[in-house]
Amino acid sequence: MMRTAISAKTIIALPHNLYWPQLSEAALFCLEVAAKQGFRPDEVWVLGEDAPNSAAIERWFPDAKIRNIELGKKRWPLDVGSNQFLQKPLTLYAAMQDNAPAKLITPLHGASAYFALMARAGGLLDQSCEIIQTCYLPTAFESEGSLILPTELSTVLDTELEAWCARHGDALWITHDGLKQSIADKFDMPPSTIRALPLKVAKSAQTPKRHIVFAGVPSPLYGFDAFLDLAESLDDEVEHISVFLKGTDDHKSWQQAGYKRLHALKAKLDWHRDADIYDHKDDLTDAVLVCPMRTPIFPLAARAVHKSGMQVLWGMGFETPRAKTASNVHNVISDVRKLKAKLLELWDIEKPDANLIAPTPLKTVPNKAKPKPRPLPAVKSPSIIVLHHNRTKYLDQALASLAAQTDTDFELVLVDDGSAPEARAELPALIKKHGFKNAQISTIENAYPSVARNHGAAISNGDTVLFMDDDNLLAPETIAAFKSALASQDVVLSFYQTFTGETAPEITKGDGHKPAHTSLAYGFAGLHPGTGLFYNLVGNSCFMIRRTLFEKLGGFSPKYGVGLEDYAFLLKASFKGDLRFTVLPEPYLHFRLHADKIRNTHIDWRSPERLQAGHWRVIDDIASNTGNIPAPALAYARQLHELTQYQYVAKPRPKYFRLKSVMMHQYLRPFLAKRQGLRKLFLKFAGKEGRLFRVLERWFGR
């Protein structure tokens, strides 16, 4: 086999950032490793369409020749279209065939060396070409508490490619020794091939100054808007704010608005644009670096953290890992109020409430074989689980709607999710006010909806559970209708209608099990596999299910965040294939729209990219665990995710699931019912329970 002639050159290959003109931080760390280990490259290649920004390269290697390696599509043996995650490694491979170096130094992340290693292993490149890779935060170690880019925002094959490249390269340079053994175990590679730049952690002060720092890109994807919200909430406490920005695009109106918000605060403000936080580490010893929504700490920022000893607030999802982290890194749930509380604790301004108990987790149930069709037990004693957090006025209205139920034979389980002491003190009086005889109150530390609902199910005494939030209301017929439907079903949910305002709407009793309509309703498509792959057409958390089945399904998972936990649970249940569901086409739930809803403050909902990424994470997990998703649907979901993960995505749900379309079908029912061939099918689908159907049928006759 003909081999490419080896040269004596040392080449650094850097992937160009796709979204802004500067080199990526992974590329900057690669340059730093090469400089501090005495490598003297002859050339520095930058893979990308645009000419590279040479200032950062010349900082480390002023004498090296800088080459822009353009992404030449026609040179590739594969049709990769516009997928730049494949364009880069293929372009590097093509360039090395033309001029193979004696030594190649390149970042691991993004798989820049993948085809170079493949070519060398296959004999297309000389075996003596030494391939050195650098990685400051490998994607596979999020569970180890390392500071990394969230895996759901990486390409689908990132972890697999990185593991393969790490095992087949000649050396892997990382930021610090703390992860060496973990990487060796995870990638199944000898520790001797893993090397680290020396890091000596500085000692930080006992109480950091009221100085907060943001280092990253001024984009919602990287938590800049969350940092702004946090800074505004601390306007009376914070004294100094430092901002290190990368990839600014100042002409964008939302960036300008963000700058104005910071300038309006009382604190001293330092702007550093296109500057490395590492160069200012000595000025940040007593600062707190805030990384909302697991913002990737860039390589030089990570080294600045270790060198300066500054404290770091590391924003997680809704699951805080148990693994050990550095003493100056604090894992915090990615919510402004949680970040603020941790800062106030670090500054010795406020202490956490010691009177709250830890949530009770659901009992783990071992997986069993797929059950055969079975008779369903009768519903005897439902438990209504109501979540509350600092909204006693809304809770009063919610409890009033429960007290007005036509069927009052249920247990009330009120779970207080870490409210303030003054709010918790009002709860017994509210229970007494509405006359609940069978009720219990449990106060837990603030753990958010998934954990709080699971806690309520775990301590409930009923054989059936129904979930409700404190700011919503139920129609008087809800419990009776859900219990009736659950006699022949495993899961029961319904349409809902929305309302606004501090005052609850007047909810009157409807007709039998039919609620009265006060506004337009939103309907779901139902729990059929595939309906929720691209948008949530499945349902929400206000459903009724037998408690034993809820436990077998694992309850709500906290790792998907607010707004996706119910979607994840119901979609997972729908793919079991042996459960019976019904979506009642009547709006029993009254859903309140107001500014204090958690989805309006939590970062997942404030950043559509995050919401889309979380949506994909649900699909990916379910596909891995069930294997029941059709291959074409899953492939389409993957493509949709790749196209949208770096864009603002807020796709509207199809209009034909709105009530207007439902009403259209109501008008069409008499026409269809009079057709002999369609009548049987129509009645099977819709039945004769609709009021409007009966009215129109009387008008137009049979």
Write down the pLDDT at residue 3. Answer: 39
Between strands 211-216 and 240-245, the pairing is: parallel
Confidence of residue 207 (pLDDT cuts 50, 70, 90): confident
CB-based burial label for 179 (10 Å; 0-12, 13-18, 19+): buried
Nearest-angstrom CA–CA distance, 541 and 562:
11
Provide CATH 3.40.50.2000 ranges for the chain: 10-196, 211-346
Highest mean pLDDT among 63-72, 141-150, 323-332, 486-495 belongs to: 486-495
Write down the pLDDT at residue 645. Answer: 44
Give me the amino acid identity at 451.
V
- Assess if CATH 3.40.50.2000 describes domain 211-346: yes
Write down the pLDDT at residue 576. Answer: 73
CATH of 10-196, one of 3.30.990.10, 3.90.1150.10, 3.40.50.2000, 3.40.50.720: 3.40.50.2000
Write down the pLDDT at residue 537. Answer: 61
Nearest-angstrom CA–CA distance, 669 and 686:
9
Q: What is the mean pLDDT of residues 245-264?
A: 76
Answer left, alpha or beta for residue 372, where phi above 0 means left and psi between -120 and 50 means alpha: beta
Q: Is residue 150 over pLDDT 50? A: no
Handedness of CA 221, 225, 228, 234 (dihedral sign): negative
Write down the pLDDT at residue 258. Answer: 82
Angle, CA of 540, 543 and 546, to the nearest 5° = 140
Write down the pLDDT at residue 594. Answer: 81
Per-residue pLDDT tens over the stretch 4-56: 444 578 888 887 654 455 677 778 888 888 998 888 899 998 877 566 667 77
The two structure tokens encoding residue 472: 């919503």
Write down the pLDDT at residue 90. Answer: 59
The two structure tokens encoding residue 97: 């065939």
* pLDDT top residue among 115 and 56: 56
Provide CATH 3.90.550.10 ranges for the chain: 382-596
Residue where the block lists tokens 């990486």: 154
Write down the pLDDT at residue 347. Answer: 94
* pLDDT top residue among 289 and 25: 289
Query: H helices within 506-607, ranges in order?
Result: 547-552, 565-574, 598-601, 603-606
Q: What is the mean pLDDT of residues 494-508?
A: 85
Write down the pLDDT at residue 695. Answer: 42
Confidence of residue 404 (pLDDT cuts 50, 70, 90): very high
pTM, full prediction:
0.65
* pLDDT top residue among 25 and 216: 216
Please tell me whether residue 592 adopts helix, strand or coil conformation. strand
Q: What is the mean pLDDT of residues 78-95?
A: 56
Where does 382-596 sit in CATH, by number?
3.90.550.10
Q: What is the mean pLDDT of residues 367-373?
A: 62
* pLDDT top residue among 67 and 372: 67
Confidence of residue 631 (pLDDT cuts 50, 70, 90): low
Q: What is the mean pLDDT of residues 451-457?
A: 96
Write down the pLDDT at residue 386. Answer: 98
- Which residues, in sequence order, are CB contacts of 503 under 8 Å at separation 6+? none
Confidence of residue 369 (pLDDT cuts 50, 70, 90): low
Would you say 108 and 138 are in contact if contact means Cβ atoms under 8 Å apart? yes
Q: Is residue 408 over pLDDT 50? A: yes
The two structure tokens encoding residue 520: 């337009």
**Of 649, 656, 658, 574, the residue nearest 619 (C-alpha):** 574
**Of 648, 642, 650, 652, the residue nearest 221 (C-alpha):** 648
Q: Is residue 78 over pLDDT 60? A: no
Nearest-angstrom CA–CA distance, 82 and 500:
45
